[in-house]
Amino acid sequence: MLKLFKYNWLRNSTIFYATITVLLLLQAALIIADSYWENIDGLILGLSVFVFSIGALILFTQICSTYNINLKSYNRRLLPVAPIKEIGALVLLQIIYVLIMTALIVIVNLILLPKISFVDMELIRNFFDSPSLVIFTFVSGIWFAVSILVFIMLAIAIAACFKTKNRVWIGITAFIIIVALTGYISELLFGAGVSAGIELTTGEAGFKLLTPGDKLMGLSGEIAYDVILMLLALFAMTYLMNKKIEL
């Protein structure tokens, strides 16, 4: 899997380095701009978030595109390697991109946020003072990023089973159906309310982790559901890559 990861990394490295360089230059420009024009704090913060979002989107799209290319590449399809390793190599790339982007967001915001007049730094300190909150946020972020990637990869794999011109639309339709169906079943099983999240409270409490009974164990049903969905998606992708997708 690591060997496949290496070649996925090499294929994407130019775009990755270009994206990170442009992103850092723009963030640096925003930090400098904020020092000169203090009355546009809101705009600067908004632009900073926008630039990070675009950067993350470019890298995410790149991973999805790599999977699509790999499914159609002779050099990948001929390898004596289980499809799950091909999928795992891209999931690993996604996790590494998330880690790098998180590190950049933290570094930039350590410099930028203290300059923004309306940001309550005490609230942010409270957040980082609570390890469970930080870990929960981080793990949720990684899980979300991996889940969304796996479901998009499943949609790409479904589309790749067809040889028609309209398979892009087949992929998009498949993704919408997967998301709608899993969301609907989740709602049936666990209700519509958000059962886990971070609650922002006023006063001394600041942030707090909101779970049923304030215990993560209360989420075991939803966690199990998410894990089962992920395993089913991986199984379906492996099956399609082994039996249905042809060159």
Residues 89-148 that bind other proteins (CB under 8 A): none
167 lines the binding site for other proteins (CB under 8 A): no
Length in residues, the chain:
247
> In the set 21, 53, 61, 73, which binds other proteins (CB under 8 A)?
73
Which residues, in sequence order, are bridge partners of residue 197? Answer: 210
> In the set 1, 22, 58, 77, which binds other proteins (CB under 8 A)?
77
Q: How many angstroms from the chain centroid is the CA of residue 66?
A: 16
Largest Cα–Cα distance in the chain?
61
246 lines the binding site for other proteins (CB under 8 A): yes
> In the set 35, 39, 75, 202, which binds other proteins (CB under 8 A)?
75
Axis crossing angle, helix 167-190 with helix 131-160, rounded to the nearest 10:
140
Strands (DSSP E) found in the chain: 197-200, 207-210
CB 147 within 8 A of CB 228: no
**Run of H or E including 223:** helix 220-239
For other proteins, which is the closer residue by CB, 66 or 109? 66
> In the set 32, 78, 192, 194, which binds other proteins (CB under 8 A)?
78
Residue 229 CA to residue 234 CA, distance in Å, equals 9
Residue 63 amino acid letter: I
79 lines the binding site for other proteins (CB under 8 A): yes
1 lines the binding site for other proteins (CB under 8 A): no
Draw the binding track, 32-71, toward other proteins (x: CB under 8 A; -: no contact).
Answer: ----------------------------------------
Is residue 202 exposed (0-12), middle (13-18) or buried (19+ Cβ within 10 Å)? Answer: exposed
Nearest distance, CB of residue 88 and other proteins, angstroms? 15
Nearest distance, CB of residue 79 and other proteins, angstroms? 5
How many positions of this chain bind other proteins (CB under 8 A)? 22
Nearest distance, CB of residue 10 and other proteins, angstroms? 7
74 lines the binding site for other proteins (CB under 8 A): yes
CB 99 within 8 A of CB 139: no
Contact residues toward other proteins (CB under 8 A) are: 3-4, 6-7, 10-11, 14, 73-75, 77-82, 163, 242-244, 246-247
